[in-house]
Amino acid sequence: MEKAYKYRIYPNKKQKEIITKTFGCCRFVYNKYLAKRIEMYEQSKITFSYVQCANDMKQLKTELEWLKEVDSTALHDRDVNAAINILNEGLRILKVA
C-alpha cells in the first residue's frame, strides 16, 4: 500500500515572487543544458560529465547576474540531474527500438 500526502501552501506576495523567479531560472538552466548536451552528443557522440556541468554553471552565473537571485541548490539539481536523466532515457529508448 502506498501513501501520498498533499500539501497546500499559501505564500505571501514576496514568497510568490521568489518561487516564480526560482521556477523561471530552473526552466532556463534546464533548457540550456539539455540543448547543450544534445548538441554535444550529435557532434561528437559524447556528453559532458557532472563535474563539467557544475563548473560550467559557475561560469554561467558570472555571465548572467539574475541567476544569483535564486537558490543555487535548486538550479544545480535541476540542470544536472534532469538533463542527464532525460537524455539518457531518450538514448536508451532509441537503442531498444
Which pLDDT score is estimated for 12?
Answer: 97
Nearest in space to 37 (alpha carbons), one of 75, 81, 97: 81
What does pLDDT average to in each consecutive run of 10 residues of the chain (97 residues)? 91 94 88 83 78 81 88 68 66 65
Could you tell me the three cell numbers for 54?
557544475
Q: What is the 3-state secondary structure (H, E, C) of the chain?
A: CCCCCCCCCCCCHHHHHHHHHHHHHHHHHHHHHHHHHHHHHHHHCCCCCHHHHHHHHHHHHHHCHHHHHCCHHHHHHHHHHHHHHHHHHHHHHHHHC
